[in-house]
Amino acid sequence: MNKNGMNGKGMTQAGIRRTLVALALVALAVFPLVSDDLYYQAMLILTFVLAIGATGWNIMGGYAGYISLGNSAFVGLGAYTTGILAAKDNLSPFLGCLAGGLVAAVAAAILSLVTRRTRGMYFIIVTFAALQLLGIVATIWSGLTGGSQGLALPIPTWSLTYQNWPFYYPLLALLVLSVAVSAWVRRSKLGVGLFAIADDEGKAAGLGLATNADKLIAFVLGGTFLGVAGGIYAYYVTFLNVSAVFDIVTSMLIVLSALLGGRGTLWGPVLGAFIIEPLANLTSTSLGGANAGAIRLLLFGGLLGLVVLFLPRGLIPTVSAWKTQRQGQGQKQPDPERLRLPLAATMTQEGDQTEAAPAQRPHADATTMAGTGTVLAVRGLARSFGGLRAVDDVDLDLPPASVTGLIGPNGSGKTTLFNLVDGTVRPSSGRLTLAGRRVDHKSRQARAHAGLARTYQLPRLFPSLTVLENVVLAERRFSVARLFLPRVTVAERGRAMAVLDDLGLAQYASTSPATLSYGQRKLIELAQVLWLAPALILLDEPAAGISPALSQRLAGMIRHLRSEGVGVLLVEHDVAFVASLSDRVYVMANGKIIASGTVAEVSADQAVVDAYLGDQVALAVGNPVESAS
């Protein structure tokens, strides 16, 4: 998905696009003034409504990845709010539409709360069910909504010379506004947060992103536009009918427009709407008769199916990918599937990096807890899965400015312990104190804000963002003002480019991390989590699968971190690597800590030997096994 327009053509393409858009806008603005054709005016009005709907949907479903089948609910809420206020209180249309937007915004906010518990396909089902329920409730409350009898709004009272202009221009303005907001979102930190959520919400939370706040804003933006459009639409049609308004087909048309044009792009939903609505109009006028509805359904249902099957990314991304291929730019396509480079190539690349002093880490603010006691204190931590005690009464103390290793045989509970510390899993019992704060039941964001960072054995990066954006993504504290900043501020760019330079990866700054090799992605992930200026960093098998040269480099970076006051806890199978770095190791077996000390000490501990080699076994037949020295 070419969300970021990462084509190298730069100015020229953007310039062409801007000119086209300006021309189209002028044409649309001038059209009602020069033409008397009411048919096309009406069609354009409905197109604007659909385009606004699709653009709003796109913020939720395209940017943040939450597909909703129930968006006509927002339109319906806006329409009915406006309609009820118009019929009962004779409120000015302007205020009525705003009220519609407000009600829809509240509904959208509630929906965003739902995402705390329900994601993926369950979320889709919830939106579908909510729409159905709303329709039924609206029918039942016929006193308020007119039920299946319908609700009538006051008929327009202006002179006929103005035709439909009082609907046309506000809708056009609303469309321009919604696209402008969508564009702003894409360029801001809010947008970056949403794309990150769509790629890997858990990891985004682990980097301190306020995912719930981001989703709330995104949903409310989407919902409000739909609600206001619904209000204007209500005045336009002057008659509301529950089954026509809270209709799944309208929802489907919104989704289809966005998917057809390109989910996640800026103009895709608008393009899609400008294709779909005229098509709908065409079919309803040319295919009269009893079968018109069925044929329309066939057409649009079929189109939706075809788009998902054969054009899953939508028109704009597919065309731009095709163009890039033709021009043979040789640009690597962002590919969420791993692009594997053969081992030899990886080693050459890494060998070429200058093996200089360990890279500068961006420790701008010295909030590390150096010298003020332990960075991580674990007491009696336990976690069971079913009947299995994965972590059993573990006590641990990590001082600042230290490197501690966590080793042990397979299934000893090391990964679960990591997951308990970083918040992926909640403990059954026990206490966790991070830099002086109790965090055992805190969210992942809260832990990140308290100074915790973690890497993964298979690096988790965000393929929809560039390498540079990946590096500067993490947030140590939440502030609403930050959301308004551009995706990468000048100061951040400076710092991040310095980091990338040190790593020798500066040339990849504008590409997607999906194109990098395994080793390179490990380095980027480390840079990414270090952006948090953490007090404690958990490294999950940092040395796994990388060349000895890179492994040395990593060791250097870890030593540097220690000298800056950071506490490092690493899980590693490569005990030699651990030994060369750690001040201390803990050995885990069967969920418990069975030994701690230096590597030399623990390797002489009989309990540790037994854990690794297996309990002393007396088998009647066969070779008696010498016990290890």
Partner 1 sequence: MIEISGLVAGYGGLDILRGVNLSVDRGGITCIVGPNGAGKSTVLKAVSGILRPTAGSVTIDGTDLTGRDPEAILRAGVVQVPQRNGLFTRLTVRQNVLMGAYVIRKKRRQNEARYDALAETFPILATRPGVLAGTLSGGQRRMVEFARALMLEPTVVLLDEPTLGLDPASLAIIGDSVRAMIAAGTTILMVEQNVRFGLCLATHATVLTAGTVALAGPAAEIAAHPSLMDLFFGDAKAAGGHEAGAR
Partner 2 sequence: MTELLQVLIFGVLTGGVYALMATGLTLTFGVMKIVNMAQGALLILSAYLCWTLWAHLGIDPLLGSLIVTVPLAALGILFYRFIVERVQRHDHGLTIVVTFAVALVAEAIIALIWGPNPIAATPAYFNQAFTLGSVTVPRAQLYACLLAVAVTALLQLCLRRTWLGHAITAAAENPEGARLIGVEPKRIGTWIFAIATATTAFGGAALSFLYQFTPDSQDTWIGLTLSVVILGGLGSVTGAFAAGVLLGLAESVTSTYISVRWSEAVPTILILLVLLIRPQGLFTLAARQDAAV
Please name which of 375, 403, 448 lies closest in space to residue 543, comparing C-alpha atoms.
Answer: 403
Minimal distance, residue 164 CB to partner 1, in Å: 56
Of the residues 11, 290, 617, 621, which one makes contact with partner 2 according to CB under 8 A: 290
When CB distances are held under 5 to 8 angstroms depending on the partner's kind, the choice from partner 1, partner 2, none that residue 547 binds is none
125 binds partner 2 (CB under 8 A): yes
Using the contact rule CB under 8 A, the part of the chain among 95-103, 126-134, 341-349, 499-507 near partner 2 is 126-134
For residue 149, give the nearest of 87, 75, 227, 74 by alpha carbon: 87
Site string for partner 1, 508-527 (x = CB under 8 A): ---------xx--x------
Please select the residue that binds partner 2; options are 86, 153, 252, 471, rule is CB under 8 A. 252
Q: Determine which residue in the list 16, 22, 24, 129 makes contact with partner 2, applying CB under 8 A.
A: 129
* Per-residue binding letters, 338-377, with partner 1 (x by CB under 8 A): xxx--x----------------------------------
308 belongs to the binding site for partner 2 (CB under 8 A): yes
Choice between 283 and 353, CB closer to partner 2: 283
> How big is the site for partner 2, counted in residues (CB under 8 A)?
49
Q: Is 600 in the site for partner 1 (CB under 8 A)?
A: yes
Q: Is 615 in the site for partner 1 (CB under 8 A)?
A: yes
Helix/strand/coil for 485:
coil
Check if the beta carbon of residue 317 is closer than 8 Å to that of residue 293: no
- In angstroms, the CA 135 to CA 83 distance is 16
DSSP-derived secondary structure letter, 328: T
Within residues 384-403, the interface with partner 1 by CB under 8 A covers: 401, 403
Helix (H) or strand (E) holding 377, with range, is strand 376-385
Using the minimum distance from each CB to partner 1, give the nearer residue, 167 or 518: 518
Where do the H-state alpha helices sit in 428-512? 444-450, 467-472, 480-483, 490-503
Q: What is the DSSP letter of 313?
A: T
Task: Tell me the pairing of strands 429-434 and 437-438.
Answer: antiparallel
In order of 404, 457, 555, 572, 594, the CA distances from 539 in angstroms are: 10, 8, 12, 8, 21
118 binds partner 2 per the rule CB under 8 A: yes
CA nearest 468: which of 420, 436, 503, 438? 503
> Which of 308, 458, 491, 607: binder of partner 1 (CB under 8 A)?
458
The site map against partner 1 for 558-587 (x = CB under 8 A) is -x--xx---------xxxx-xxxxxx----
Calculate the alpha carbon distances from 115 to 69, 211, 224, 484, 491 in Å: 14, 10, 18, 23, 34
Residues between 171 and 210 with contacts to partner 2, criterion CB under 8 A: 202, 205
Q: CA distances (Å), 464 to each of 5, 123, 176, 485, 513, in order?
A: 11, 22, 26, 19, 9
Partner whose footprint covers residue 576, from partner 2, partner 1, none (CB < 5 to 8 Å by kind): partner 1
The answer to whether 612 contacts partner 1 (rule: CB under 8 A) is yes
Minimum distance between the CB of residue 410 and partner 2, rounded to whole angstroms? Answer: 17
The one among 92, 291, 598, 606 contacting partner 2 by CB under 8 A: 291
Stretch that binds partner 2, among 244-252, 355-363, 548-556, 615-623 (CB under 8 A): 244-252
Cα separation, 375 vs 565, in Å, equals 10
Which of partner 2, partner 1, none is residue 424 near (CB under 5 to 8 Å by kind)?
A: partner 2
Cβ-contact 258, 268 below 8 angstroms: yes
- Say whether residue 137 binds partner 2 (CB under 8 A): yes
Complete DSSP assignment for 58-117:
HIIIIIS----S-THHHHHHHHHHHHHIIIII---HHHHHHHHHHHHHHHHHHHHHHTTT
- Burial (CB < 10 A; 0-12, 13-18, 19+), residue 38, is exposed
600, with CB counted inside 10 A (0-12, 13-18, 19+), is exposed
Residue number with CB closer to partner 2 (118 or 580): 118
Q: Which of 304, 544, 555, 575 is the binder for partner 2 (CB under 8 A)? A: 304
Return the one option of partner 1, partner 2, none that residue 137 interacts with (CB less than 5 to 8 A, by type).
partner 2
Is 121 an interacting residue with respect to partner 2 (CB under 8 A)?
Answer: yes
Task: Select from partner 1, partner 2, none the partner in contact with residue 117, using the beta carbon and a kind-dependent cut-off of 5 to 8 Å.
Answer: partner 2
Please state, in angstroms and rounded to a whole number, the distance separating the CA atoms of residues 381 and 105: 42
By C-beta, is 87 or 114 nearer to partner 2? Answer: 114
Nearest CB to partner 1, comparing residues 186 and 414:
414
Whether 77 and 242 have beta carbons less than 8 Å apart is answered as no
From partner 2, partner 1, none, which one binds at residue 218 (CB under 5 to 8 Å depending on kind)? none
Q: Does 444 bind partner 2 (CB under 8 A)?
A: yes
Of 404, 347, 351, give the one whose Cα is nearest residue 545: 347
* Beta strands at 388-398 and 567-571: parallel, antiparallel or unpaired: unpaired
Q: Which residues contact 293 (CB under 8 A, 6 or more apart)?
A: none
Number of residues counted as binding partner 1 (CB under 8 A): 52
The region of 116-124, 369-377, 468-476, 480-488 touching partner 2 under the rule CB under 8 A is: 116-124
Nearest alpha-carbon partner for 230 in 174, 152, 277: 174
**Which of partner 2, partner 1, none has residue 291 at its interface (CB below 5 to 8 Å by kind)?**
partner 2
3-state SS class at 592: strand
Q: Is the CB of residue 347 less than 8 Å from the CB of residue 518?
A: no
Q: Tell me which stretch binds partner 2 (CB under 8 A): 73-81, 132-140, 159-167, 175-183.
A: 132-140
Residue 614: which of partner 2, partner 1, none does it interact with, CB under 5 to 8 A by kind?
partner 1
622 in contact with partner 1 (CB under 8 A) = yes
Q: Can you tell me whether residue 424 is helix, strand or coil? A: coil
Using DSSP, how many helices (H) and how many strands (E) does the chain show?
25, 12
Helices (H), 287-337: 292-310, 315-326
What is the rounded CA–CA span in Å between residue 590 and residue 272? 57
Taking the complex as a whole, the smallest distance from the CB of residue 384 to partner 1 amounts, in Å, to 15
Among partner 1, partner 2, none, partner that 626 touches (CB below 5 to 8 angstroms by kind): partner 1
- The distance of closest approach from Cβ of residue 463 to partner 2 in the complex, given in angstroms and rounded to an integer, is 14
Residue 22 CB: number of other CB atoms within 10 A?
Answer: 10
Site residues for partner 1 per CB under 8 A: 338-340, 343, 401, 403, 409-411, 457-458, 517-518, 521, 541, 544-545, 559, 562-563, 573-576, 578-583, 598-600, 603-604, 609, 612-617, 619-626, 628-629
Residues that bind partner 2 (CB under 8 A): 67, 69, 114-122, 124-126, 128-130, 132-133, 136-137, 139-140, 202, 205, 248-249, 252, 255, 259, 290-291, 293-298, 300-302, 304-305, 308-309, 312, 423-424, 444
